[in-house]
Amino acid sequence: MKSLKNSFIFLETIVSLIVVSIIVTIFFKLSYDNNTHKKFQSLNNISNKLKKSDYSNMQTSQEEIIILENGVEKKLSVKKITSSTNEIKLSKYELIK
Protein backbone atom coordinates (compact mmCIF):
# COMPACT_ATOMS: atom_id res chain seq x y z
CA MET A 1 0.00 0.00 0.00
CA LYS A 2 2.87 2.40 0.82
CA SER A 3 4.44 1.85 -2.59
CA LEU A 4 1.13 2.61 -4.31
CA LYS A 5 0.84 5.87 -2.33
CA ASN A 6 4.39 6.88 -3.30
CA SER A 7 3.63 6.17 -6.95
CA PHE A 8 0.50 8.29 -6.80
CA ILE A 9 2.42 11.22 -5.23
CA PHE A 10 5.09 10.91 -7.93
CA LEU A 11 2.39 10.91 -10.65
CA GLU A 12 0.73 13.97 -9.07
CA THR A 13 4.05 15.79 -9.04
CA ILE A 14 4.73 15.02 -12.71
CA VAL A 15 1.24 16.14 -13.78
CA SER A 16 1.57 19.36 -11.73
CA LEU A 17 4.94 20.16 -13.34
CA ILE A 18 3.52 19.60 -16.81
CA VAL A 19 0.54 21.89 -16.11
CA VAL A 20 2.79 24.62 -14.69
CA SER A 21 5.17 24.40 -17.66
CA ILE A 22 2.25 24.72 -20.11
CA ILE A 23 0.94 27.79 -18.28
CA VAL A 24 4.39 29.43 -18.22
CA THR A 25 4.92 28.69 -21.92
CA ILE A 26 1.56 30.22 -22.85
CA PHE A 27 2.31 33.31 -20.75
CA PHE A 28 5.69 33.88 -22.43
CA LYS A 29 4.25 33.30 -25.90
CA LEU A 30 1.48 35.85 -25.35
CA SER A 31 3.95 38.37 -23.96
CA TYR A 32 6.33 37.89 -26.93
CA ASP A 33 3.55 38.18 -29.50
CA ASN A 34 2.27 41.36 -27.88
CA ASN A 35 5.72 43.02 -28.03
CA THR A 36 6.16 41.96 -31.64
CA HIS A 37 2.72 43.30 -32.50
CA LYS A 38 3.50 46.68 -30.91
CA LYS A 39 6.75 46.99 -32.89
CA PHE A 40 4.94 46.08 -36.10
CA GLN A 41 2.26 48.71 -35.43
CA SER A 42 4.90 51.34 -34.74
CA LEU A 43 6.80 50.49 -37.95
CA ASN A 44 3.56 50.51 -39.95
CA ASN A 45 2.64 53.93 -38.52
CA ILE A 46 6.03 55.39 -39.48
CA SER A 47 5.78 53.87 -42.96
CA ASN A 48 2.35 55.41 -43.52
CA LYS A 49 3.59 58.85 -42.45
CA LEU A 50 6.55 58.60 -44.84
CA LYS A 51 4.27 57.62 -47.74
CA LYS A 52 2.04 60.64 -47.06
CA SER A 53 5.08 62.94 -46.62
CA ASP A 54 3.85 63.72 -43.09
CA TYR A 55 7.10 64.36 -41.27
CA SER A 56 5.65 65.50 -37.94
CA ASN A 57 7.59 64.09 -34.98
CA MET A 58 10.53 63.34 -37.28
CA GLN A 59 13.86 65.09 -37.68
CA THR A 60 14.60 66.63 -41.06
CA SER A 61 17.89 68.00 -42.34
CA GLN A 62 19.47 68.90 -45.66
CA GLU A 63 22.69 67.24 -46.72
CA GLU A 64 24.90 66.98 -49.76
CA ILE A 65 25.93 63.52 -50.79
CA ILE A 66 28.36 62.41 -53.45
CA ILE A 67 27.48 59.49 -55.69
CA LEU A 68 29.54 57.76 -58.31
CA GLU A 69 27.72 57.27 -61.62
CA ASN A 70 29.61 55.72 -64.54
CA GLY A 71 32.92 56.76 -62.99
CA VAL A 72 31.80 60.39 -62.58
CA GLU A 73 31.22 61.92 -59.15
CA LYS A 74 27.98 63.85 -58.74
CA LYS A 75 26.93 66.02 -55.82
CA LEU A 76 23.30 65.82 -54.88
CA SER A 77 21.33 67.84 -52.36
CA VAL A 78 19.02 65.60 -50.36
CA LYS A 79 16.58 65.97 -47.53
CA LYS A 80 17.19 63.41 -44.78
CA ILE A 81 14.16 62.42 -42.71
CA THR A 82 14.92 60.42 -39.56
CA SER A 83 12.49 58.73 -37.22
CA SER A 84 13.65 57.18 -33.97
CA THR A 85 10.88 55.63 -31.85
CA ASN A 86 10.43 52.40 -29.89
CA GLU A 87 13.82 50.94 -30.77
CA ILE A 88 13.11 51.54 -34.48
CA LYS A 89 15.46 53.89 -36.30
CA LEU A 90 14.50 54.70 -39.87
CA SER A 91 15.98 57.17 -42.35
CA LYS A 92 14.64 58.31 -45.70
CA TYR A 93 16.40 60.45 -48.29
CA GLU A 94 14.54 62.66 -50.76
CA LEU A 95 16.19 64.38 -53.67
CA ILE A 96 15.88 68.18 -53.58
CA LYS A 97 15.27 69.54 -57.06
Q: Is the pTM of this model over 0.85?
A: no
| Percent of the chain predicted with pLDDT > 70 | 88
Instruction: Compute the distance between CA of residue 43 and CA of residue 41 in angstroms, rounded to an integer.
Output: 5
- Summarised one tens digit per residue, pLDDT across range 4-18 is 666 778 888 888 989
The neighbouring-strand residues paired with 62 are 79
> What single string gives the DSSP state of each residue in 24-72?
HHHHHHHHHHHHHHHHHHHHHHHHHHHHTT--TTSEEEEEEEEEEETTE
